[in-house]
Structure 1
Amino acid sequence: MASTAPLPVDEEREFHLGILGSTGFVGNATKLQELKKELSIKYGINEQDIHTAVADVDDYRSLVALTQRCRVLLTTVGPYLLYGEPVARACVETRTHYCDLTGEMPFVSLLYSRHGAAAKERGVKLVSFCGFDSVPSDISVMLIQEKAIQLTNKPCREVKLAVRSIRGGVSGATLASALNVMGHRSMKSSYYLAANAVDTPQNRIEGLPVQPRV
């Protein structure tokens, strides 16, 4: 979701990147304090110059105050259906690019229907599915299609991905998100978000012959 409107300028924003959710499960897991120390050593920055800020998803003014200081905001605050929409709304209002870790398709549909047009008009990028739910499958499909075109000059018409095993466990936040969307009609449809797919030249395959499914 983007437009030709001018993007936020670095010099106009205090922070290039803001992370919302440091008091939640994923936020704690990122160990922000340790990261501050690591960044200060790696880039020769005074640790005191790497700032933290307070915002509450139940306090919209605090979200606006935070997002207008950032060029890009990454939010780890979920379940997103319960807590995500005000964050995205604040980002659109303050012309701050937004990304999240959600795997909740109903939330992404809501995000597009409520804020897609305004985000496009204001030049704001709304990027969802940046977490484990989607990244492995997205990268796998990209690599398969690149290889298929390289070898046969044809992209695959359809790629089906099956996960046989996963290492590690499930966080409380992930479990809460799963329970929150359980039974929703989106979980029964592989094409629930297809109508809202971003239409760009990179997403089109017109003019290319298509080979069978993989």
Structure 2
Amino acid sequence: MSAPESDNTRDHDIVIYGATGFVGKLTAQYLAAAGGNARIALAGRSPDKLLAVRESLGEKAQSWELISADADQPSTLAAMAASTRVVITTVGPYLRYGLPLVAACAAAGTDYADLTGETLFVRQAIDLYHKQAVDTGARIVHACGFDSIPSDLTVFALYRQAERDGTGELVDTNYVARSFAGGVSGGTVASMVELAREASADPEARRLLNDPYTLSPDPAAEPQLGPQPDARWRRGRDIAPELDGYWVGAFAMAIPNTRVVRRSNALLGYPYGRRFTYAEHMSVGRSPVAPVAAAMATGGNMATMELGSRFLNRVPRGFLERILPKVGSGPSEQTREKGHYTVETYATTTTNARYLARMSQQGDPGYKATSVLLGESGLALALDRDKLSDLRGVLTPAAAMGDALMARFPAAGVSLEVSRLG
């Protein structure tokens, strides 16, 4: 049975699990500044490191409780989950460390948000814990950072605008990463390595990664729309007249993002439409060499995924951990502050109305911007419960909290605007 929305019997509104990691610290810093009166706690394996993080956060955070919790000790995760309305976690790779916390939150009826871009991890969470989370009233919300909120929420915003305008359902819909700048952390590299290893070792994992509906609640019920390639290069004008002269290639995170968006459509009852198609691209500009760059980006992404997975499965894990960036490392403060992104999602509806959703943030997409998105997701789940959807189980950002999260964006410095093009 789910806990009532007004339940105040828990000690905390939000627990940040992994608060001593790179993005965990950034999220704690954001919530120390933007969390208002939310009751927040910091959790992780090392009490000493947690104390050091709390001491760095300023006066307001000094009352935050410190919680010792470890994925290798399920009882500590269970106690943590039972103490709070929401757990937000930055502890990856999620394929290695994530499922015990999902299990604890599903059992306790506790809402959960993470940063995963690991499609196979999400599929495992659905298979193992979706039904239990529905029964207990938990919202298990994956992909609450740069992957995949800009993808998920721009499409959701387009649907809402078309719904208000009465212009029909979405059909041809394309996300274009127009500009972005930032750095790379050890945690992201570790997650990519773990996913590549899994795909290389397991033919079924490769099949799931290639299935456009692998995160669907019922893949057999999905519309049969033919091939939906995630890696392609094309002229911008083939997407929208406004992109005439530009070329686009494959976007590196298209595989996880597209599957999240398609799951949102299914979970919400196909409000985007049964003819909805969705793809993701990266703009490479309009110079004379742009067509070559687009082709190389697309071919390079495909080759890297295939050859990289074969190579990584033959290299000892310990050797890779010695040579790759360390988990907990990340870009400098200067890089984080100078980073930014702008994405544009173009859609045509069943009445041939055309729309554009543009979303942008200042700050490194994977780190500063992501910490804002994760922090606001936690606040929406904890404090805006009357504005959330009625869905429970393993969800997506749009399906769990689309309207509530969009309402929070302006105050958080996140720009999301929808305009009608024709």
Query: TM-score under structure 2 normalisation?
Result: 0.43
> The residue matched to 2:15 in structure 1 has which SS?
strand
| Paired residue total | 205
Other-structure match for 2:215: 193
Aligned partner letter, 2:14 = L
Other-structure match for 2:138: 124
Question: C-alpha separation between the residues in 2 aligned to 1:28 and 1:46?
Answer: 15
What is the RMSD of the two structures over their aligned residues, measured on CA atoms?
Answer: 3.0
Other-structure match for 1:77: 91
Other-structure match for 2:104: 90
The 5 Å alignment of 1:22-171 reads 22-32=19-29, 35-36=31-32, 38=33, 47-151=61-165, 153-171=167-185
Please say if residues 156 and 213 of structure 1, whose CA atoms lie closer than 8 Å, have aligned partners that are also in contact: no
Deviation at residue 199 of structure 1 after TM alignment: 3.5
Other-structure match for 1:17: 14
1:180 and 2:197 matched: no
> The residue matched to 1:112 in structure 2 has which SS?
helix
Deviation at residue 188 of structure 1 after TM alignment: 2.7
Long gaps (5+) in structure 1: none
Cα distance 1:162–1:187, how it changes in 2: closer, same or farther (>3 A)? farther
Deviation at residue 211 of structure 1 after TM alignment: 4.5
Deviation at residue 52 of structure 1 after TM alignment: 2.1
Please give the per-residue CA displacement for 1:142-181, whole angstroms capped at 9, x wherever unaligned: 2333344455611222412232442112221112112221
Cα distance 1:157–1:22, how it changes in 2: closer, same or farther (>3 A)? same
Deviation at residue 49 of structure 1 after TM alignment: 2.7
Question: C-alpha separation between the residues in 2 aligned to 1:195 and 1:158?
Answer: 22
Please say if residues 169 and 271 of structure 2, whose CA atoms lie closer than 8 Å, have aligned partners that are also in contact: no
Deviation at residue 190 of structure 1 after TM alignment: 2.7
Query: In the alignment, which of 333, 336, 350 is matched to residue 210 of structure 1?
Result: 350
The structure carrying a bigger strand percent of its residues is 2
Other-structure match for 2:3: 6
Deviation at residue 53 of structure 1 after TM alignment: 1.4
Deviation at residue 5 of structure 1 after TM alignment: 3.3
Deviation at residue 203 of structure 1 after TM alignment: 3.9
Aligned partner letter, 1:154 = G
Query: TM-score under structure 1 normalisation?
Result: 0.81
Please say if residues 108 and 128 of structure 1, whose CA atoms lie closer than 8 Å, have aligned partners that are also in contact: yes
Larger Rg: 2
Aligned partner letter, 2:186 = G
Other-structure match for 2:406: none
Identity of aligned residues (%): 32
Please say if residues 157 and 213 of structure 1, whose CA atoms lie closer than 8 Å, have aligned partners that are also in contact: no
User: Which range moved further: 19-28 or 45-54?
Assistant: 45-54
Deviation at residue 46 of structure 1 after TM alignment: 5.8
Aligned partner letter, 2:88 = L
Please say if residues 78 and 173 of structure 1, whose CA atoms lie closer than 8 Å, have aligned partners that are also in contact: yes
Cα distance 1:151–1:117, how it changes in 2: closer, same or farther (>3 A)? closer
Aligned partner letter, 2:17 = L
Long gaps (5+) in structure 2: 38-58, 200-204, 219-262, 275-348, 355-422
Aligned partner letter, 2:190 = A
